[in-house]
Structure 1
Amino acid sequence: MIIENIVTNIESLDKEEVGKRHIEKVYLESADLVKRIQRVKSDHGKEIGIRLKDQRDLVAGDILFMDEKNIIMIDVLSDDLIAISPRSLKEMGTIAHQLGNRHLPAQFEDDQMLVQYDYLVEELLKQLEIPFKREERKVKQAFRHIGHSHG
């Protein structure tokens, strides 16, 4: 089976619609969500080729295939993350500036900034006394570097 288009995302479907179908999952590392062409295997052992026509990243919950009885969807494996919880705008600005200087991609969920674990970031947060937790957590999308130059 070769998938060229995403059907929809599971979050956009009615729960009743989802409940009528058997769900098969393809587990990906968050870094693999940016790959438009890849060969994957579902949790039922089904080999699937992904060759997306659209210029878009995969997202957790994307449905690769759906019929009256089945859904094959993307799920994401947990990442080793640092969840940063600044207590003030000053702390947020300080850590955002520091991480930006290191060109580290970040994501935001609720009041937390998420970055992939790095012992140097952990040491920096301890030094700056900014609250954080290291945890295994699923993210919905890939950590993506934003291209730019200092020229």
Structure 2
Amino acid sequence: MIIEKVIGNIAAMEKKAPHIERVYMESDALLKRIQRVTTDHGKEIGIRLKENRELLDGDILYMDERNMIVIQVLEDDIITICPTSIQQMGEIAHQLGNRHLPAQFEENEMLVQYDYLVEELLQQLDIPYKREKRKVKQAFRHIGHSHD
């Protein structure tokens, strides 16, 4: 089976099929428009998206009256940064920007993929953080950079 478009997202569906198969993916695989995956029932699926979009947790790849195939993102090893002031937020944002590390924001938290150097920096700057396994809503997008 080759999937060329996402049908929708399970979070927005009112009527769900009685049976759901899951495709477990690392968050960075969400960025790939072409890939081969296997469901938790052993069904191999090719994904070749025609539209230029990233996959999301809960995206429905296939659906009929009896079955749905849904993407489920695995948890990432992340650092959740919880600055206590705008000054701390500015300091850590500047430091992470200099390192070209992608970050995501959820409410008052900044999320980055785990890196022991970032952990050491947070300890040096005395900025509250926690290391945890957590499902992120979208993949961390690495941004290219040059000093030309």
SS of 2:93's partner is helix
Q: Which runs of structure 2 are paired with 1:1-151 in the superposition (5 Å)? A: 1-14=1-14, 17-18=15-16, 20-151=17-148
Determine the C-alpha separation between the residues in 2 that align with 1:119 and 1:2: 40
Partner SS for 1:26: strand
SS at match of 1:134: strand
**Aligned-residue CA RMSD in angstroms?**
1.1
Consecutive unaligned residues in structure 2, runs of 5 or more: none
Identity percentage of aligned residues: 69
CA–CA distance in structure 2, aligned partners of residues 85 and 132 of structure 1: 6
Deviation digits for residues 32-53 of structure 1 (CA, Å, limit 9, x no counterpart): 1111111100011110000011
Distance apart, 1:68 and its partner CA: 1.2
Distance 1:70 1:125 in 2: 46
Distance in 2, Cα, partners of 1:22 & 1:49:
20
Gaps of 5+ in 1: none
Dislocated runs of 4+, deviation >6 Å: none
- Equivalenced residue count is 148
Question: CA–CA distance in 2 between the matches of 1:150 and 1:69?
Answer: 54
TM-score by length of 2: 0.96
How many Å apart are 1:21 and its aligned residue? Answer: 2.3
